[in-house]
Amino acid sequence: MRFVTHLESAIDGTRLDANQLQTVHQDRPLWVRYDLEGIKKHVDRDALAAREATMWRYRELLPLDDQVSPVSLCETITPVINCPQLATDAGVREVWVKDESRLPTGSFKSRGMTMAISMAHFFGVRRVALPSAGNAGGAAAFYAARAGMEAYVFMPEDTPVINQHEAALAGARTFLVNGLINHCGAIVREGAEKMQWFDLSTLKEPYRIEGKKTMGLELAQQFQWKLPDVILYPTGGGTGLIGMWKAFQELTQLGWLDSKRLPKMVSVQSDGCAPIARAYDDGERFATLHENADTIARGIRVPAAVGDFMILDAVRESGGTAIAVPEEQIVSRMQTATRATGIAICPETAACISALDQLSKQGWLSDDQRIVVFNTGAAQKYLEAIEQPLPVIDRHQPLDWEFIENGR
Ligand SMILES: Cc1ncc(COP(=O)(O)O)c(C=O)c1O
């Protein structure tokens, strides 16, 4: 059984057949649409908690027929952790971190990839390719390995070294390109015909969003079907933010939420690469390319996003905002936020912690709000950002306890 009715163009509403492999319509993304009335009759919201604690517990709201086994590595429900020190530091009431680093390959990208590769596998795809800022390439490589598919990954040459090697470790043909993710994307597009691969790029197929949507479904369930007031999300291609906003619309239509108030969605970028924040400030629906984009938070180094209008629509519909934070704060925020929480905060999320302070100082946040920040990946995957010289002990010399006490 599956409840998918059709695919719908996000740009002009054209209906497309969901029973065949689809990509984009007029170069813009597709939504997956469901028979929500049917789901409402079939699923008891309160019975979901008794199902297996993975994202597949929301099976009826996902596009894969329930008779088909997903290509899965056990995409566990991620914890949402109260972080009082972050709240105190920002001068707000409650900050929770939803820790996506617990997922296979250490980032939220596995949600999208388990879904996209399961669907591609179902439709008979044997070879996939994608450009990646890092984590998506790693995740795609592992899920492709799981499915027995060939994977081709194209990454900027300065992609975090762990991402480069994890993709190769899992058997993907992994290439470093002297350019940014958009240049890598151009290679995937150019090779489509010659190499006969299926393009798994962000929003170039409809299913990665559906996997990411489960972040929103989980969050709703974890907060007893009352969503938080504000969500801060690091934004690159935007599937995470778009997927969550779609989840909230579907939950509203299903009547599963106990409060009608939806969270304000905050799209966070670095001022080193802020096409969405800039378009938001300029009142535009489409973003322009951010020239010479650079940020240590490589996952959000996306100078042009094919789903720009979907991100901006979600932010505006929710009453949220889009914000760029100073690049130079990111590494120090990783350290302070990790020390304040005990959670290995990735650079993309460190940008969100900066945004928290910035929005609080601007008076955009109020002190009665429950705020959720997504830790989209594990800090340990960013050797370049966490590496620091460590003091060395010569075991042949008498121990210097003052040196040891101070760590230097
Ligand atoms: C750790 C991390 N956070 C955030 C993002 C941005 O994700 P999205 O493409 O959903 O905007 C990425 C994308 O690579 C990422 O790896």
The one-digit pLDDT tens for each residue of the chain (408 residues) are 899 999 999 999 999 999 999 999 999 999 999 999 999 999 999 999 999 999 999 999 999 999 999 999 999 999 999 999 999 999 999 999 999 999 999 999 999 999 999 999 999 999 999 999 999 999 999 999 999 999 999 999 999 999 999 999 999 999 999 999 999 999 999 999 999 999 999 999 999 999 999 999 999 999 999 999 999 999 999 999 999 999 999 999 999 999 889 999 999 999 999 999 999 999 999 999 999 999 999 999 999 999 999 999 999 999 999 999 999 999 999 999 999 999 999 999 999 999 999 999 999 999 899 999 999 999 999 999 999 999 999 999 999 999 999 988
Closest-CA residue, ligand 1 atom 9, reads: 237
What architecture is the 80-106+207-385 domain classified under in CATH?
3-Layer(aba) Sandwich (3.40)
Determine whether the shortest distance from the Cβ of 275 to ligand 1 is under 6 A: no
With a CB cutoff of 8 Å and minimum separation 6, the contacts of 323 are 266, 267, 268, 269, 277, 355, 358, 359
Report pLDDT digits (tens) over 37-80: 999 999 999 999 999 999 999 999 999 999 999 999 999 999 99
From 100, 102, 105, 107, the mutation candidate for ligand 1 (largest count of ligand atoms within 8 A of CB) is: 107
Say if ligand 1 is within 6 A of residue 135 CB: yes
CA of 345 to the centre of ligand 1 (A): 13
Q: Is the CB of 133 under 6 A from ligand 1?
A: yes
Give the pLDDT score at 367. Answer: 86
In this structure, which residue's CA is closest to atom 13 in ligand 1?
299
Using CA positions, which residue lies closest to atom 16 of ligand 1? 299
99 forms beta bridges with 375
Q: How far is the CA of 234 from the centre of ligand 1 (A)?
A: 7
Cβ–ligand 1 distance for 376 under 6 Å, the answer yes
Atom number of ligand 1 nearest to Cα 349: 3
| Cβ of 300 below 6 Å from ligand 1 | yes
Residues 6+ apart with CB under 8 A from 214: 55, 58, 62, 75, 111, 243, 247
Report the nearest-CA residue for atom 5 of ligand 1: 299
